[in-house]
Amino acid sequence: MRIYASEETREALPFSRLIPVLESMFKHGCTTPRRHIHDIGTPETPLTTLIMPAWSDVGFMGIKTVNIAPNNASKSLPGLFSTYTLYNRDTGEPVAQVDGNEITSRRTAAASALAAKFLASPSSSRLTLLGAGRVGSLIPYAYREVLPIEEVAVWDINPVASERLVMQLNQDGFKARAVEDLQMAVSWADAITCATLSTQPLVKGAWLSPGSHLDLIGSFTPSMREADTDAVVANALFIDTEEALEKSGDLTQPIHSGALSPDAVIGTLEDLCLRRCPTRSSQQECTVFKAVGTALEDLAAAILVHQG
Ligand SMILES: NC(=O)c1ccc[n+]([C@@H]2O[C@H](COP(=O)([O-])OP(=O)(O)OC[C@H]3O[C@@H](n4cnc5c(N)ncnc54)[C@H](O)[C@@H]3O)[C@@H](O)[C@H]2O)c1
């Protein structure tokens, strides 16, 4: 079995190749059963394990395992470890072990860029990024593959993280700056991406400028939120998969309050890739994309790493 460590995995997943590979897998289809979630740890050492299988008729089956250990920080270890095992679907033979963290962050940024390709205005050059972590720091590079992004405004609860990313982006040809005034930064942008761990709305719908695109990545539990109710109710709403309606507080909270009907969702990423749903109805309308991630994206990325 071939082992792909983090650097090799990263190099095998350039956004120029990963975004079209995801589009093609969304068009082709893939079986993705519900993930298993197991609480394995003890009160002293909590550990949650997620097991995410996927298979398709392109010849492979894969399983991502994610171990989340919130107390690891006290041991100077990351709070999350992830591995991906790719199998030959006909024989069951394991063919590759791939770094799961790299797969997750790169496929997440690529999926957001894929949605933005369909939903953002094609002339979008100004990007505002909330969250300069593992996923957020990849977003400008993924977006640049599909939109003419030139300027990036970065906001993070931790100013050191913003400054570090701004320096990197400026070295890589973007015109980037750290910002403190969120309202101004959101109103300035053609596209806004949130990749934070926030439990309170950060972006207000009233701040979006006409025709802009809001991309929500961070909230993956009902208690997490990055946008207010107005942002998801008053604009053209898209999701990556139906799971988003059950998992993300950005959607579950407005659904429970009666402000949002699940029927308001115009389409999923699969619908967009298959061009079987409309996009924005006018140049002035804003679009919102809420993602929680899918094992389809992990499988597509792992196959790209292994087959090149
Ligand atoms: N949709 C998906 O497919 C998908 C995939 C991977 C990760 N995620 C989610 O995206 C988020 C970011 O993931 P990551 O790997 O980049 O994490 P990370 O820890 O590397 O980065 C998170 C960033 O958000 C900032 N932050 C934390 N709390 C905040 C708050 N309350 N307000 C504003 N900023 C805050 C941190 O300072 C950090 O820079 C997480 O919630 C993660 O679970 C979603």
* CATH code for the part of the protein at 110-294: 3.40.50.720
Which conformational region is residue 46 in: left (phi greater than 0), alpha (psi within -120 to 50 degrees), or beta? beta
d(CA 224, CA 186): 20
Cβ contacts of 287 within 8 Å, gap of 6 or more: 119, 120, 212, 213, 214, 235, 236, 237, 238, 279, 280
Which residues form the pocket of ligand 1, taking CB atoms under 6 Å from any ligand atom?
A: 104-105, 108, 131-136, 156-158, 161, 195-198, 217-218, 220, 291-293
Alpha carbon 109 to its chain centroid, in Å, reads: 5
Question: What is the distance between the alpha carbons of residues 128 and 186, in angstroms, rounded to a whole number?
Answer: 6
Multiple choice CATH, 2-103+296-307, 3.30.1130.10, 3.20.20.140, 3.30.1780.10, 3.40.930.10: 3.30.1780.10
Tell me which of 196, 223, 248 to substitute to probe ligand 1's pocket, judged by most ligand atoms within 8 Å of the beta carbon: 196
Give percent above pLDDT 70 in the chain: 100
**Residue 275: CB partners within 8 Å, gap ≥ 6?**
none
Q: From ligand 1's centre to the CA of 26, what distance in Å?
A: 24
Q: Do 2-103+296-307 and 110-294 come out as alike in CATH topology?
A: no
Domain residues of the chain, as ranges? Answer: 2-103+296-307, 110-294
Which stretches in the chain have pLDDT values below 70?
Answer: none
266: nearest Cα among 293, 290, 230: 290
Per-residue pLDDT, 251: 98
Separation of CA 136 and ligand 1 centre (Å): 7
Count CB-CB contacts under 10 A for residue 88: 13
Sheet bearing 60-68, strands edge to edge: 2-4, 94-99, 80-88, 60-68, 48-55, 36-39
β-bridge partners, 203? 227
Do the strands 36-39 and 48-55 form a parallel or antiparallel pair, or are they unpaired? antiparallel
Position 73 scores a pLDDT of 86
Q: Do you know the residue count of the chain? A: 308
Between the CA of 70 and the centroid of ligand 1 the distance, in Å, is 14
Going from the Cα of 2 to the center of ligand 1, the distance in angstroms, rounded, reads 30
Contact 30, 59 (CB under 8 A): no
Q: How does DSSP assign 62-117, residue by residue?
A: EEEEEEE-GGGGGGT--SEEEEEEEEETTT--EEEEEEHHHHHHHHHHHHHHHHHH
What is the predicted pLDDT for the residue at 53? 97
Q: Compute the distance from residue 1 Cα to the ligand 1 centre, in Å.
A: 32
Ligand 1 nearest atom to the CA of residue 219, by list position: 41
The residue whose CA has the least distance to atom 9 of ligand 1 is 218
36 token code pair:
């298993």
Residue 91 CA, ligand 1 centroid: distance in Å: 38
Distance 220 CA to ligand 1 centre (A): 10
Top mutation candidate among 135, 154, 238, 288 for ligand 1, by most atoms within 8 Å of CB: 135
pLDDT on residue 58: 87
The whole-angstrom separation of Cα 4 and Cα 1 is 10
How far is it, in rounded angstroms, from Cα 196 to Cα 156?
Answer: 8
